[in-house]
Structure 1
Amino acid sequence: MTLNTVKVQNWDRTITTIPTYALVASPFMNWRGMEESGGRRIMRSINVDMRSVKFCTPEMLAKYKKIHHLKDYIEQRQTEIENYNKELGVDESVTVNGRRMTNLGVFRKYLENYCIRHPRLNTDMTFLIRHLQPSEKGIPIQVYVFSKEKAWAVYEEIQADIFDHILAIIPEFGLRVFQEPSGDDLQTAISGLGDLLQNK
Structure 2
Amino acid sequence: MFRTFDQWLRSEGYLMGEDSTSTLHRVLWLVAVLLFGYLVGLICRRVVIPLVAKVVSKTKATWDDYLFNPRVLRSISHLVPAMVVYVVIPYVFIGTGLWLDILLRISQIWLIIVGIRFFTALISSVYELSTQHEDLRDRPLKGVYQMLKIIVICVGVIGVVSVLVNRSPLALFTALGAAATVLMLIFKDTIIGLVAGVQLSANDMLRPGDWIKIPKQGIDGMVTEVNLTTVKVLNWDNSVTTVPPYTLVSDSFENWRVMQESGGRRVKRSVNIDMQSIRFCTPEELSAYADEEWFAPLKDEKEVVNLRVFRAYFTDCLRRNPRINAELTLMIRQLQPGPQGLPLELYFFSADRSWIPYEMLQAEVLEVCLAVLPRFGLHVFQSPTGLDLERTRINQ
TM-score range, shorter chain: 0.7 to 0.9
Indicate how the Cα distance of structure 1 residues 26 and 138 shifts in structure 2: closer, same or farther if over 3 A, else same. Answer: farther
Tell whether 2:275 aligns with 1:72. Answer: no
**Residues 10-21 of structure 1 correspond to what in structure 2 (within 5 A)?**
10-12=234-236, 13-18=238-243
State whether residues 235 and 241 of structure 2, in contact with CA within 8 Å, keep that contact through their aligned partners in structure 1.
Answer: no
Three-state SS of the structure 1 residue aligned to 2:321 is coil
Matched with 1:198 is none
Matched with 2:318 is 115
**Matched length:** 171
Shift of 1:109: 0.7
Matched with 2:231 is 7
State whether residues 340 and 381 of structure 2, in contact with CA within 8 Å, keep that contact through their aligned partners in structure 1.
Answer: yes
State whether residues 295 and 313 of structure 2, in contact with CA within 8 Å, keep that contact through their aligned partners in structure 1.
Answer: no
Q: Which amino acid aligns with 1:65?
A: A
Indicate how the Cα distance of structure 1 residues 149 and 75 shifts in structure 2: closer, same or farther if over 3 A, else same. Answer: closer
State whether residues 129 and 143 of structure 1, in contact with CA within 8 Å, keep that contact through their aligned partners in structure 2.
Answer: yes
Tell me the distance in 2 between the aligned counterparts of 1:132 and 1:187: 32
Tell whether 2:366 aligns with 1:160. Answer: no
Three-state SS of the structure 2 residue aligned to 1:171 is helix
Q: Which amino acid aligns with 2:284?
A: E
Matched with 1:181 is 384
Tell me the distance in 2 between the aligned counterparts of 1:126 and 1:8: 35
Q: Which amino acid aligns with 2:268?
A: M
Tell me the distance in 2 between the aligned counterparts of 1:26 and 1:135: 37
Shift of 1:63: 2.4
Three-state SS of the structure 2 residue aligned to 1:41 is strand
Matched with 2:282 is 57
Q: Percent of aligned pairs with the same residue?
A: 41
Tell me the distance in 1 between the aligned counterparts of 2:235 and 2:317: 31
Matched with 1:146 is 349
Q: Which amino acid aligns with 2:293?
A: D
Q: 1:135-183 CA distances to partner (integer Å, 9 max, x unpaired)?
A: 1111111111111111111111111111111111110000001111111
Tell me the distance in 1 between the aligned counterparts of 2:286 and 2:352: 36
Indicate how the Cα distance of structure 1 residues 26 and 180 shifts in structure 2: closer, same or farther if over 3 A, else same. Answer: farther
Q: 1:5-24 CA distances to partner (integer Å, 9 max, x unpaired)?
A: 74341452532233667536
Shift of 1:25: 6.2
Three-state SS of the structure 2 residue aligned to 1:110 is helix
Query: What TM-score does the superposition give when structure 1 sets the normalisation length?
Result: 0.76
Indicate how the Cα distance of structure 1 residues 22 and 49 shifts in structure 2: closer, same or farther if over 3 A, else same. Answer: farther
Kindly name which structure, 1 or 2, has the bigger radius of gyration based on alpha carbons: 2
User: Which runs of no fewer than 5 residues in structure 1 stay unpaired?
Assistant: 83-99, 194-200
Query: What TM-score does the superposition give when structure 2 sets the normalisation length?
Result: 0.40
Q: Which amino acid aligns with 1:63?
A: A
Three-state SS of the structure 2 residue aligned to 1:55 is coil
State whether residues 7 and 15 of structure 1, in contact with CA within 8 Å, keep that contact through their aligned partners in structure 2.
Answer: no
Matched with 2:226 is none
Q: 1:68-87 CA distances to partner (integer Å, 9 max, x unpaired)?
A: xxx134344222x25xxxxx
Higher mean alpha-carbon deviation, 102-111 vs 26-35, is at: 26-35
Q: 1:106-161 CA distances to partner (integer Å, 9 max, x unpaired)?
A: 00111110001111100111212111111111111111111111111111111111
Indicate how the Cα distance of structure 1 residues 47 and 58 shifts in structure 2: closer, same or farther if over 3 A, else same. Answer: same
State whether residues 61 and 74 of structure 1, in contact with CA within 8 Å, keep that contact through their aligned partners in structure 2.
Answer: no
Q: Pick the aligned partner of 2:267 from 42, 52, 73.
A: 42
Tell me the distance in 2 between the aligned counterparts of 1:151 and 1:72: 33
User: Which runs of no fewer than 5 residues in structure 2 stay unpaired?
Assistant: 1-184, 194-228
Higher mean alpha-carbon deviation, 124-133 vs 104-113, is at: 124-133
Q: Which amino acid aligns with 2:231?
A: K
Matched with 1:132 is 335
Q: CA RMSD in A?
A: 2.2
